[in-house]
A and B are shown apart, each in its own frame.
Chain A
């Protein structure tokens, strides 16, 4: 029996080392938590490893004792059952020792909690707002406010194109932040609960409608760090990634200026567009782009929606009916439903064009046109 046991153990050891080797070859088989690049992420990593080793030791002792009994105290080996079945002393011992271990463990864990909660004295404050299914970043005190949306093309998701390296973890506009600065995040949501999570920063915090949560980070190394929404938030919960680009201070300043300039241009352009009168074709072309980016996740490319939660637009009363009412729904949303207000996200000309598009798409060809000035009146 014992020799058989030794033989089996040897074979298992061989198999295990083979597995380990293939593991090393498969460098992408990440099996542990990233250590990350912030003081907090390192604290968290250390806590994780300490408690993990404590668990391993407990497991080795418990399972060791158990398998030793299983091997030696079998009836088939002629082992006679012993008679003992109670001992207050050992019960006290194995209540007290784990309790002591936990008390010791609680000390660094408590320090960790306090460190995570200390978001005072920040250098930069960023408001992060969750939307179904994108993130909005507003730099407090700076004129910067933009949305960050999944950039992976639909045909990759539908297996019609080869998947790129950062499949599902890429966005159109990353969050850019400087290294070596204390950055405070103020998290909230526009609709349901989301959670903003970037593993390398060890920041995960729920974004809750009506609440503002705080979290903070201090990034030590430049790089691109990717994360995802971590709270089920509806249909496209799996498709709202987060990309944080951490750069040197000077590069950050350049980005800030560029971004502000870009925003100025956009506003100027929007203002100019708002003055203009557009023809049907221009409106429909532009409107289709706006629709694809903002509306089709719910109302679908065909305009048929996913009723009854996401109603069809094609052939609907709203699209055939009063134009002002149609604009109002897009501008202000519908309370009590998943239809959000787009007043903050879209300019007058964008709303005008998307409303025009909806009234003329999917074979409806109403010929209606909506001008930015019509939208401005209802804002």
Chain B
């Protein structure tokens, strides 16, 4: 099969022979664009992480030490927005750009020019968003959920920039999603039926549909804010006959599918990695596909579980409680399938596998606390406390972020042509694992004991756990510099040259092309049987 891609190591006639900056600005190549997305996400990781550093430094001890409450609120808001829209989503789009064509045997993405456009919108969107921090009155300070009227009537003037930033990100995401759907549905190699697609492609296909469905809802939401702020409407202003609760319904109708957008591709990643290192086929491929689809469908009817305390009627409270409990079932199926894949395998524990195993364990902890949160009466105690902060960090950090890191170690030999330093990667893993649990586990205790979230200062009984949490956060944060170093070493060609298929148990078309993958692959479609 590998002889189908001939020596196309150099730029050929498809590519304008741009060099230097021009190559990256005008590129329509899925691999280049994938790389751009990944670099962008990495940069944002350190910016968003720096903000988390500021937050945890302030919360290291009771009292106000370093920053004032108004700046604290800007830090939590920006941290959330950047991590969600600037780190997790672009990283997954980057992985999709690199891997989806390679995995389905396509020469490129279906809509390469739009691909370029959807990446290059991002730096502008985030420059706009970040610049608001330096404006009069500061940046957005109303939390990443930006509930009205705090984000409208009571918001700083820079909110308009925030709104346009969100519009641009949404535009980029929608275009990215259209591109992925078109590619997957139209450009599969002959013989690659839908039910033969790798799980990563499946999870991304489903994610892309979620994106197309909900990003316009977010756009509508911020547009109504814009109207309320500048054009005298009262969508969310009770004094003018509007409804602040409607804001939350609209936001979470976007927001809940959004949290699945941030995890489904990671499900896909570990579903590639665990079989490779267990040297055994993925257990229950079909049920994995159906479970992913069920999660995606259910994610549209659970949104108000974020709103159990806003005063919904009892019937609504019950509906959303039941539907949320239900979503734990397909999630459980996925976990059981991963464990069964490992069962009676022949496992080795290189870095991608370590991160994937940690993913399964820690994501499950996050899923279980999610199940606790779904019990509406109990959620009255959990809601808006550190217990919720613990829950979503357990699903997002060892979930989404570990998924991204595992994917990087798994595929970086293919991207760069060099093996990463396995010893350092193991150190990276263990320090991250310890740091992360030190950071987020005590948050469960803090929340149950009564510490609200989004506060810059706290009562004395919360002091000990906050200190542990902050120390854990500093450990976790600085450890990621090691990750940066490891990745840069690969990119610079320091390390063992990677073979075409560096992992004994790995399967899939991406391992049939040379390492590094040449700029153009599968110009002749491969045959899949």
Contacts and interface: CB of A to CB of B under 8 A. Distances in A.
Contacts of B380: 44, 116, 202-204
B70 A235 contact: yes
Contacts of B239: 209-210, 335
Counting contact residues on chain A (CB < 8 A from B), the size range is 35 or more
Interface in A147-205: 156-159, 163, 165-169, 191-193, 195, 197, 199, 202-205
B309 A91 contact: no
A62 B364 contact: yes
Given A76-B348, A85-B282, A208-B311, A167 B460 contact: yes
Contact of A211 (B311, B328, B340, B343): B311
25 contacts: A44-B381, A48-B381, A59-B368, A62-B336, A69-B342, A73-B342, A73-B343, A74-B349, A75-B346, A79-B345, A81-B279, A81-B345, A86-B283, A90-B340, A102-B326, A113-B321, A132-B154, A195-B309, A199-B450, A210-B239, A211-B244, A213-B310, A228-B452, A230-B309, A307-B136
Interface stretch (A2-10, A27-35, A321-329, A363-371): A27-35
A168 B149 contact: no
B427 to A, nearest CB: 20
B454 A232 contact: yes
Contacts of A113: 314, 317-318, 321, 376-377
A230 B64 contact: no
Interface stretch (B3-11, B32-40, B284-292): B284-292
The 4 nearest A-B residue pairs measured at CB? A210-B238, A238-B455, A112-B377, A82-B344
Interface string B309-336: 1110010011001100110110011011
Nearest to A47: B378
Given A85-B281, A235-B69, A338 B154 contact: yes
A214 B335 CA distance: 40
A106 to B, nearest CB: 6
A164 to B, nearest CB: 9
Interface of B: 62-65, 69-70, 73, 136-137, 141-143, 147, 149-150, 153-157, 238-239, 242-245, 278-287, 309-311, 314, 317-318, 321-322, 325-326, 328-329, 332-333, 335-336, 339-349, 357, 360-361, 364-365, 368-369, 371-372, 375-378, 380-381, 383-385, 445, 448-450, 452, 454-461, 464-465
Interface stretch (A93-101, A136-144, A245-253, A262-270): A93-101
B325 to A, nearest CB: 5
Contacts of A163: 62-63, 460
A239 interface: yes
Contact of A105 (B141, B314, B325): B325
Contacts of B346: 73-75, 79-81
Given A113-B317, A335-B239, A306 B384 contact: no
Given A113-B314, A238-B458, A85 B377 contact: no
Contacts of B287: 91
A69 B349 CA distance: 13
A52 interface: yes
A65 B343 contact: yes
A55 B372 contact: yes
Contact of B345 (A73, A117, A167): A73
A308 B156 contact: yes
A34 B381 CA distance: 10
A231 B70 contact: no
Given A90-B340, A113-B321, 18 more contacts: A59-B364, A66-B339, A66-B360, A84-B283, A95-B329, A102-B326, A102-B329, A105-B375, A109-B377, A157-B64, A192-B149, A193-B150, A193-B244, A208-B310, A238-B69, A238-B452, A308-B137, A309-B137
